[in-house]
Structure 1
């Protein structure tokens, strides 16, 4: 179950990655950040996989719940 849900759809695009990184850093080990976005967050996934050591890329999930609503789960390693 996600510890934190962050809806990015109302944030300006230039602020989104910064907000996600801050929320992810605030998680405890083993928790998950769930983000809601208006487009596929694949670039964010690639950024996290390359740059964030605590990111558990193997357990990342993303679903398109409806057009314009993507929900991604970014787990933090234990």
Structure 2
């Protein structure tokens, strides 16, 4: 039987204080193994977060919009390799 891939963890930061959101997101990313991902749920487009990932984790992350707003944004963020 083929091995089932566990579902991606969901990280909903909409109720978190803005100052804490990036810390939670990077902690969640840091706990991933290569090939794993989580789905970020946010109340605005996390484009600045993408640029932070690009600066701090170049070539080591994936970023896929699953729901592009306008009220809820869902982004699948993965650790590559």
> TM (normalized to structure 1)?
0.84
Alignment gaps of 5+ in structure 2: 1-5
Q: Name the structure where helix makes up a greater proportion of residues.
A: 1
Which runs of structure 2 are paired with 1:1-78 in the superposition (5 Å)? 2-53=7-58, 55-56=60-61, 59-62=62-65, 63-64=67-68, 66-78=69-81
Runs of 4+ in 1 over 3 A off after TM superposition: none
Q: Secondary structure at the match of 2:25?
A: helix
Alignment gaps of 5+ in structure 1: none
Deviation at 1:27, TM superposition (A): 0.8
Q: Which digits, 9 at most, give the CA deviation of each residue in 1:39-63, with x for residues without a partner?
A: 000000110011024632xx41123
Rg (Cα) greater in structure: 2
Instruction: Report the Cα distance in structure 2 between the residues aligned to 1:19 and 1:27, rounded to whole angstroms.
Output: 13
